[in-house]
Amino acid sequence: MVDDSAFMRKVLETIFNADEQLTVIGHAKDGREAIALAESLKPDVITMDLNMPHMDGLQATAQIMTTNPRPIVVVSSESKEGAASTCERWNWARLILSPSRHRELIWTCKA
């Protein structure tokens, strides 16, 4: 789970913990931490925020998909210009623009 907001990490963790098939195994506050944790933890799926300090979600997703590919669900309340088309074009990730869409988020992470 990658988000620079401690509040959003807690919200997402609460959503995932409500489903017995999902387990949160790590948290990252920026893209750099996400890349390191993806390598060390090897999660089944990663949730990724877009706007973060040091390295944004699109840059981190590109790096992870190059070195350690795995499903990535981009979860953001605001869309970065071209994020959806970039994710789709490279088949990197699914973009969910509102973390309040619990069912869609859980279903997407399980898929």
pLDDT tens-digit profile of 33-78? 999 999 999 999 999 888 899 998 889 988 998 998 888 888 876 6
pLDDT at 25: 96
Helix (H, G, I), strand (E, B) or coil at 93: strand
pLDDT at 102: 65
DSSP structure class, residue 80: P
Q: What is the pTM of this model?
A: 0.81
Q: Which two tokens stand for residue 23?
A: 């387990």
Look at the block and give the residue holding tokens 């913990």: 17
